[in-house]
C-alpha cells in the first residue's frame, strides 16, 4: 500500500445563456453559466476527479454518469462529498490540492476564498491545503472567446495514521 498518492485531472464545460455559473460551490453573477448534466462546476469536478485518479478509481463519469437522472442538476459539492467518503474508506486524507481555473470573465479573485472554504470543508482539511488560482485566456481560443471554462487540478493524498 502506498503512503502518498498523486492525482491530476482537467474538466471543461461550455458557457451558455440561461444557466447559473457555479465554481467551487459559489454562484457567481455572470451573463452565462456552464452547460452540463449536474451544476457543471468545472472546478469541483476537476478536484474530485483528481482525487479519484489518485485512488485509481476511474473518472467522474464512472461514478456519477450523466445518463443517470439522479445526477440531473446535482450540486457538485455533494458529489465531492461522496468522493471524500471513498477516499476516507480507503484510508487516505488530503495532503494538498492545487487547482487552476481558466476563464476570460468574470474575475475570480473575489470568489477564491469562498471556493477554498467550500472545498476544504467538504474534504475535511485545512483551507491552507486547498490552493485555487485563476487565469484568463487573453482572448485566445475557446476560453479567451468566452465559449467555455476549464479547470485543472492536482492533489496529493496521504495515508492516514
Q: Which residues are annotated as a binding site?
A: 11-13, 37-38, 45, 59-61, 64-68, 142
- Hunting for cell 442538476 — which residue is that? 73
User: CA torsion sign, 18 to 20 to 23 to 28?
Assistant: positive
Grid coordinates representing 69?
437522472
Show binding-site residues for a divalent metal cation: 11, 13, 45
DSSP letters for 13-75: EEEETTS-EEETTEEE--S-EE-SSS---HHHHHHHHHHHHHTT---HHHHS-TT-GGGTT--
**Side-chain half-sphere of 84: how many Cα atoms within 13 Å?**
17
Amino acid at each position: 500500500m502506498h503512503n502518498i498518492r498523486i492525482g491530476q485531472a482537467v474538466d471543461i464545460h461550455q458557457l451558455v445563456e440561461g444557466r447559473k455559473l457555479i465554481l467551487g460551490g459559489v454562484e457567481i453573477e455572470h451573463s452565462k453559466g456552464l452547460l452540463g448534466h449536474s451544476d457543471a462546476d468545472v472546478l469541483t469536478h476537476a478536484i474530485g476527479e483528481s482525487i479519484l485518479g489518485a485512488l485509481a478509481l476511474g473518472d467522474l463519469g464512472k461514478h456519477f454518469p450523466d445518463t443517470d437522472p439522479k445526477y440531473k442538476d446535482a450540486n457538485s459539492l455533494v458529489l465531492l462529498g461522496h468522493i471524500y467518503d471513498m477516499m476516507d474508506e480507503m484510508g487516505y486524507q488530503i495532503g494538498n490540492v492545487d487547482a487552476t481555473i481558466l476563464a476570460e470573465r468574470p474575475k475570480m479573485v473575489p470568489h477564491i476564498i469562498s471556493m477554498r472554504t467550500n472545498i476544504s470543508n467538504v474534504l475535511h482539511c485545512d483551507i491552507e491545503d486547498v490552493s485555487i488560482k485563476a487565469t484568463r485566456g487573453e482572448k485566445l481560443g475557446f476560453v479567451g472567446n468566452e465559449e467555455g471554462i476549464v479547470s485543472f487540478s492536482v492533489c496529493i493524498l496521504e495515508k492516514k495514521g
